[in-house]
Amino acid sequence: MIRPGREKSKLAEDDRDMSSEEASSKSRVKNRRVHLANERTFLAWVRTSISIMAFGFVMERFSLFLAQFNCFLKSGEPTASSQSQHAHISSILGIVLIGFGALMGLLAFVRYKKVEKQIEEDTYHPSLVLDLLLALCIVIIGLFFVIYFVHSEWF
């Protein structure tokens, strides 16, 4: 026959086992949510890198638009030197932006895998590399437009 005190301790052990299973289950759910948040962040960086590459492509082709717009405003043919200069500047910036976008996509993947590992090990530390790269792209685009329009012929 089982003593009444042992029954209580046996029930207490079962409750502890149940609570540790529930805690483990809650931990897995919490981890799943964190992993999904990490994946959403990765996909946001991928969208941003694709956008920067697309903008780089547009900038590379921007000189054709400016030449046509210049013809419309002046009702004449743009000079070969101004077309060449505009095309060269637009091409360089476009290629640089496409490169930054591709680099940003690669760094986003590296960051995703690194954060995934840190989540599993519970040692997450934020990184600023992608944030700085995005800020650099924005500054380059802004400086390009300022310099480009200051040196353009129509102002």
DSSP label at residue 142 = H
pTM for the full model? 0.64
pLDDT given at position 128: 86
Instruction: Provide the 3-class DSSP secondary structure of residue 88.
Output: helix
- Over the stretch 27-46, which tens digit does the pLDDT of each residue have? 666 788 899 999 999 999 99
Calpha distance 47→6 (Å, rounded): 61
Exposure of 146 in the CB half-sphere (CA atoms within 13 A): 6
pLDDT given at position 63: 66
What does the mean pLDDT of the chain come to? 76
Instruction: Provide the 3-class DSSP secondary structure of residue 125.
Output: coil
